[in-house]
Amino acid sequence: MTSASPNPVRPRQVVVIGAGIVGVCSALWLQRDGHRVTLLDRQGPGEGASFGNAGVFAVESVLPVALPGTLARVPGMLADPLGPLALRWGYLPRLAPWLLRFVAASRPRRVEEIAQAMAALLEGCLDDYLPLLADAGLAETVVRRGWIGAYLDPAKLAAGRRAVELQRAHGVTVEELGAEALRQMEPALTRELAGGFYYPEVAHSLDSYGTVVGLARRFAETGGTIRREEVRRLQVEEGRVVAVETDRGREPCEAVVVAAGAWSRRLAAGVGASVPLDTERGYHLTIAEPGVQLSRPVYSSDFGMACTPMSAGLRLAGTVELGGLEAPPDWRRAEVLATRGSRLFPGLRSEGASRWMGFRPSLPDSMPVLGAAPRVPNAILAFGHGHLGLTLGARTGRLVAELVGQRPPSLDLSPYRPDRF
């Protein structure tokens, strides 16, 4: 990705809606361009999906969630409420249109198109974090030691090789390693391991929530405004957003950025963008004293679970539950993470673990929405990152700043346009 344009940008009054990692990074990149930025969220910075993510900068994740054969998995999604990918029966009628698009995205030709687009978006994306983290004194919170994709089931390992070949075809660096080599890297891994893959370019955060909070603090220290307000609607006049209306008043603006994660669909509709956004309900356990040590994250494809060493302990996170924003958590999905974690790490202890559930903003083709609303050009939409919000936060923020500053984007944004559906 090329560096930002040195051409001066006319300062504008910009409102960013959403104080997760995408919104905070967008606010910072806009601020670096000289804009006057107000950041609005009904919660504090990082208190949504950014609070409980797996903490992995998954730069290898060029493939969509839906791969060939996805349709055959749907009955299992309905049958096993604790499976790595599960669907709540009661939500099926509302989810059906999304699910049809999800299955359509698994066609081989479409998978190839998505992989090309995601490879372009992910390439060098960690570089866009470097100035933000350095300026906020947070550079040491991100470490690059790679991560391991571990398999217990030899059949799943064989299937994983096909996905790895697709990743390699799109520039991902990955090495297949046998069980013994993986245990030399991470001695806590079980002897039942069939093998796996090592991705050396992946990084992880020692405190993903703390990173968002620290970046937001720096934004405020350098003149940005953060307010806890619930956005009600965008006021549009003559094809442009002129103000954001909240539960506490009206905020005039010359541009608005919708980065409200799983709550972005209604706001996008308010500027004429019909986007099939839904939510993946993700769960985690964080174990302060797990009894095992890891030096890098380990991902289990058998269980759809990432195991990440953080400052607060070992985080077991992941799984996908399609069930909307309103249903109460199914805490069994968090508790089963401990059982599955002990399969990977026989010495694992889970006493005293804290649990969490949050909402990932998910689009059926596994790509974010990134671009101006088709009929309201000063409304920039930046949401739907799924599992890649942390990974793509700074890259998205930089592209948002280019769009608001009316500079040619340093990346072709047509694959992520809001009206692609």
Which residues are bridge partners to 285 per DSSP?
Answer: 316, 355
Residue type, 238: E
Please say if the pLDDT value at position 419 is more than 80. Answer: yes
Q: What is the mean pLDDT of residues 220-246?
A: 98
Residue 64 contacts residue 160 (beta carbons within 8 Å) = no
Beta carbons within 8 Å of 134's beta carbon, 6+ residues apart:
none
Q: Is 233 helix (H, G, I), strand (E, B) or coil?
A: strand
pLDDT at 8: 67
Please say if the pLDDT value at position 5 is more than 80. Answer: no
For the CA atoms of 262, 405, 372, 13, the dihedral, rounded to the nearest 10 degrees, stands at 60
- The CATH number given to 10-67+107-145+201-277+363-421 is 3.50.50.60
| Residues 355-405 pLDDT 10s | 999 999 999 999 999 999 999 999 999 999 999 999 999 999 999 999 999
Beta carbons within 8 Å of 260's beta carbon, 6+ residues apart:
17, 18, 23, 41, 231, 267, 383
Please say if the pLDDT value at position 245 is more than 90. Answer: yes
| Residues 144-176 pLDDT 10s | 999 999 999 999 999 999 999 999 999 999 999
Please say if the pLDDT value at position 86 is more than 90. Answer: no
Please say if the pLDDT value at position 192 is more than 90. Answer: yes
* Per-residue pLDDT band at 3 (split at 50, 70, 90): very low
Q: Which two tokens stand for residue 33?
A: 């361009």
Rounded Cα–Cα distance for residues 278 and 115 (Å): 21
For residue 233, give the nearest of 250, 245, 248 by alpha carbon: 245
For residue 105, give the nearest of 411, 291, 366 by alpha carbon: 366
Percent of the chain residues past pLDDT 90, beyond the cut: 90
DSSP structure string for 263-286: G-HHHHHTTT-----EEEEEEEEE
CA-only gyration radius of the chain, Å: 21
pLDDT at 318: 83
Residue 303 contacts residue 86 (beta carbons within 8 Å) = no
Number of H helices, E strands in the chain: 12, 21
Domain locations in the chain as residue ranges: 10-67+107-145+201-277+363-421
Residue 416 contacts residue 368 (beta carbons within 8 Å) = yes
Residue 312 contacts residue 285 (beta carbons within 8 Å) = no
Beta carbons within 8 Å of 265's beta carbon, 6+ residues apart:
275, 277
Parallel/antiparallel/unpaired status of strands 255-258 and 203-205: unpaired
Residue 64 contacts residue 366 (beta carbons within 8 Å) = yes
- Written in H, E and C, the secondary structure of 303-318 is CCEEEEEECCEEEEEE
Q: What is the mean pLDDT of residues 316-331?
A: 91
Please say if the pLDDT value at position 177 is more than 50. Answer: yes
pLDDT at 7: 56
pLDDT at 88: 87
Q: What is the mean pLDDT of residues 7-35?
A: 94
Q: Is 373 helix (H, G, I), strand (E, B) or coil?
A: strand
Residue 167 contacts residue 198 (beta carbons within 8 Å) = no
Residue 160 contacts residue 301 (beta carbons within 8 Å) = yes
Beta carbons within 8 Å of 332's beta carbon, 6+ residues apart:
81, 82
| Residues 87-144 pLDDT 10s | 888 898 999 999 999 999 999 999 999 999 999 999 999 999 999 999 999 999 999 9
* Per-residue pLDDT band at 4 (split at 50, 70, 90): very low
| Residues 69-82 pLDDT 10s | 877 877 776 778 88
Q: Is 180 helix (H, G, I), strand (E, B) or coil?
A: helix
